[in-house]
Structure 1
Amino acid sequence: MVNSGKKRKKVPVSNPPRRQRMVCLMSEEEVRIVDRYLEKYQITNKARWLRETVLSFIHQNMEDDYPTLFKEHDMRR
């Protein structure tokens, strides 16, 4: 069985792309929920998934909070 999907570019181990560490403590129940989700959707890279999920949430909130010329109520008229 050959994987014909996209090939990911491997980053050399000697030059890690990220140098800042962020630590998050979770309860056992929260860890079970995350692990169940990752298993259900066959996500193998937990760190990348967590990073992308958090950053996409932040990006969406920043986009929603971006100042506009008119208030939302005025634009819906």
Structure 2
Amino acid sequence: MKTNLRKRAEKAPVQRQKRIVCLLSDDEAKIIDRYLEKYKITNRGRWYREVILGFIRKNEENDCPTLFTEHDMRR
């Protein structure tokens, strides 16, 4: 029996060239460090991106215009 093996095109890795700097107080840094240690998160940069972009996406979904008002939809 013949099996079809297709070669997948390799994706070029995303190169991030924009930098964002954020200053934290000692207490805020301790809170984040404890959280990352508790959940065994080793890739801090990816975690920051996921949290920030997830928050933005969630707000965008809530802010998108709708055809009807919330009152009309709850009837």
TM-score normalised by L of structure 2: 0.80
Q: Does 2:55 align with 1:61?
A: no
Unaligned runs of at least 5 residues, structure 1: 1-10
Q: State which structure, 1 or 2, has the greater radius of gyration over its C-alpha atoms.
A: 2
2:30 equivalent among 26, 32, 36: 32
Structure 1 distance, partners of 2:55, 2:22, is 16
Query: Alignment length, in residue pairs?
Result: 63
Unaligned runs of at least 5 residues, structure 2: 1-12
Aligned CA-pair RMSD: 1.1
**Between the two proteins, what is the percent identity of the paired residues?**
60
Structure 1 distance, partners of 2:59, 2:42, is 27
Letter in 2 for 1:20: K
